[in-house]
Amino acid sequence: MQFKKIAEDVQNLVKTHHEWMDTTLNMIASENITSPAVRKVIASDFSHRYAEGEPRDRLYQGCKYIDEVELIAINLAKKLFDAEHVNVKPVSGAVANLALFTALTKPGDTIMALSVPSGAHISTAKFGAAGVRGLNVESIPFNQKGMTVDVDGMIKKIRDIKPKLILFGGSIFLFPHPVKEARTVADEIGAYVGYDAAHVFGLIAGKQFQDPLREGADAISSSRHKTFPGPQGGLILCKQNLAKKIDNAVFPGLVSNHHLHHIAGLAITLAEMLEFGEAYAKQIIKNAKTLAEELHNSGLNVLCADKGFTASHQVVIDVLKNGGGGQIAKTLEEANIIVNKNLLPWDSIDHAKNPSGIRLGVQELTRLGMKEGEMAKVAELIKRIVLDKENPLKVRSEVIKFRQNFKKVHYCFDSALEAYRYAELKLG
């Protein structure tokens, strides 16, 4: 076997992937693209190194510059989110959720979270991280028509079952969740309130969504690569009284080395969001609302028309009568329009391969500089595939031509050095 040839094949596949992505309209709601400055530090020597322990108190030598970068990331996150304590070590959003479960619960405890068909991430389900922790998971009552939490039903259920943790957030996240209402009843029974902000973390950073910490959440877990356009990984914000529990759950509990090149990328992204985050988040929401309205006007069954469709980066469409989410997503991909199939609250989890819905996110298109006018064009291209049944190859040629004008990443610094100088200025 020619192993050199295998290595070359992998390089060519990655190169081909890059070339393809540059010709697509990528609307996977759980993805984004990092800035050139972030990509540069991700490819740095930090990717080769190890740094167990806390900054300036490591179990390894050779970390003096790594320590300073991690401290910059922590302090910028505290500033951006007005958080008492920050842990940047989780290596994914799922690990951040598991750390939250480890710190705030014990095996056998009951927690409340949305069900997967109602939009929860799999890590909060019995077959995910919550089950790994040995937790009993009860569903938060959900208003299917409004695509949000049933507040009265939630309050009643909290009082009835007395969970140890009430966890908000989800993978379908169109509207804010009732943190304030849960806080009041949680205090009655001695429960924690958590918030998985993975999808809306960038919108919270840009002050265009709810502010969970101010509304009463004890802790926020998140990934950092969706509306927050950083390198992949996780992060936890919490009140100071939970700092030791959270930190111990993360290290040495669940994370050894914490992907130091991504910490450097996170620090740059935090600086970018302090400078550009509000403008970026505002444009994301404008774009999502415009895309939803244009798709609705074209005849597609966009959810929550009576509520303005969305208050986040996401647009959700019921395409069951058009062939189902699995089939539609596959056909759109043939046209270089990348979306994902998605269960809707009325679907059985057994229908995951071809559920009723598709989910669209506009955060990546927004970061490439697209605005409301471009959203109208995107909606037209989708309509031609889903409703008009045009040949996907014909539409693909138009998508490729359309994308030629949107290659540059916006809402970011020109260089890593500029980002670090900005961070120093912000931190004094």
pLDDT over 80 (residue 322):
yes
Indicate if the alpha-carbon torsion angle 299, 302, 305, 308 is positive or negative.
Answer: negative
Among 31-35, 389-393, 421-425, the minimum mean pLDDT is found in: 421-425
pLDDT over 90 (residue 280):
yes
pLDDT over 90 (residue 350):
no
Count the helix, strand and coil residues of the chain and give each as a percent rounded to the nearest 5: 50, 15, 35
Q: From 88, 110, 89, 92, select the one nearest 101 (Cα to Cα).
A: 110
Q: pLDDT, tens digit, for every residue of 132-150? A: 899 999 999 999 999 999 9
- ∠ at Cα 70 (68, 74), nearest 5°? 115
How far is the C-alpha of 197 from the C-alpha of 235, rounded, in Å?
Answer: 10
pTM confidence score = 0.95
Write down the mean pLDDT value for the chain. 95
Which residues have C-beta within 8 Å of that of residue 248, sequence separation ≥ 6? 103
- Split at pLDDT 50, 70, 90, the class of 184 is very high
pLDDT over 90 (residue 423):
no
In the predicted model, what is the mean pLDDT of residues 361-373? 98
Architecture in CATH for domain 38-274: 3-Layer(aba) Sandwich (3.40)
Of the two residues 165 and 428, the one the predictor is more confident about is 165
Q: Can you give the pLDDT at residue 1?
A: 64
Q: Can you give the pLDDT at residue 427?
A: 78
- ∠ at Cα 418 (201, 264), nearest 5°? 50
In the predicted model, what is the mean pLDDT of residues 303-310? 97
Domain ranges of the chain: 38-274
How far is the C-alpha of 26 from the C-alpha of 12, rounded, in Å?
Answer: 21
pLDDT over 90 (residue 400):
yes
pLDDT over 70 (residue 329):
yes
